[in-house]
Amino acid sequence: MYEFENLNYDLNMLIDIHLKSMIIQNYFRRFTSRDKIIKVSDKWKVLRVLLLTQLSVRDFSILSVNTKIIKEWNNEPESWIYMLTNCKGDLVDIMSEVKMGFW
């Protein structure tokens, strides 16, 4: 426990609790982000190349800001890769839906 001499016991305990919770949150954030990076990295490279070849930079930036699209890219990259290679008209529909605010 870290103790500050000028503070009373209750404040020292509160500071100690906050410090420990910040350490736990930091470990949790590192653990979850490492898991996502490892899980998605290979498929993400293929998906990103396909997206950048079929979209303009402006359209890609519109999609990459949308949190629901990012979740889809992380959870189901195979379906996006399949769509980009086989059903190119669907990407136009998704872009129009995003611009209208349906996503």
> What are the boundaries of each domain within the chain?
9-100
Cβ count within 10 A of residue 89: 8
Helix residue ranges, H only, the chain: 9-54, 57-65, 67-75, 77-86, 88-100
The mean pLDDT value for 12-35 works out to 85
Model confidence over 26-51: pLDDT tens digits?
A: 888 877 776 555 455 688 888 889 99
Contact 54, 88 (CB under 8 A): yes
pLDDT at 14: 92
- Compute the distance between CA of residue 93 and CA of residue 71 in angstroms, rounded to an integer: 18
pTM attached to this predicted model: 0.57
**pLDDT value for 19:** 92
What does the alpha-carbon distance between residue 103 and residue 83 come to, in Å, rounded to a whole number?
Answer: 17
Q: Calculate helix-pair angle for 67-75, 77-86, nearest 10 degrees.
A: 100
